[in-house]
């Protein structure tokens, strides 16, 4: 039976769909979909495949990310 691990995932909404990517994984893993749920399911599947191919050592043991926040700031350009 597989061991479950909590992984923080960022989901971004664009005009043509959603993109999702995990934090705490070495390398690039991305999922996409027409809905939030599709993108989340796609990235979860990609994470499983990625770990199956490259091994559990691709997971960062102690992720420095405790929480992720989204904000906006005005800057002079």
Q: Can you give the pLDDT at residue 43? A: 96
At residue 27, the 3 state secondary structure works out as coil
Give per-residue pLDDT as tens, 24-51. 888 889 999 999 999 999 999 999 999 9
Domain tally, the chain: 1
pTM (predicted TM-score): 0.80
Mean pLDDT across 5-29: 91
Q: What mean pLDDT is reported for the chain?
A: 89
CATH of the domain at 57: 3.30.160
Yes or no: say if 30 and 46 are a contact pair by the CB < 8 Å rule. yes
Nearest by Cα to 47 from 36, 59, 35, 61: 59
Question: In the structure, how many helices (H) and strands (E) does the chain have?
Answer: 1, 3
Alpha-helical segments (H) within the chain: 36-54
Domain that holds residue 65: 1-77
Quick check: 62 pLDDT over 70?
A: no
């Amino acid at each position: 039976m597989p061991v479950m691990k909590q992984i923080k995932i960022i989901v971004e909404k664009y005009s043509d769909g959603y993109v999702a990517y995990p934090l705490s994984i070495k390398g690039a893993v991305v999922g996409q979909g027409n809905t939030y749920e599709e993108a989340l399911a796609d990235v979860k599947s990609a994470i499983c495949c990625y770990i199956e191919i490259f091994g559990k050592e691709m997971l960062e043991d102690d992720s420095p990310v405790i929480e992720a926040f989204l904000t906006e700031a005005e800057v002079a350009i």
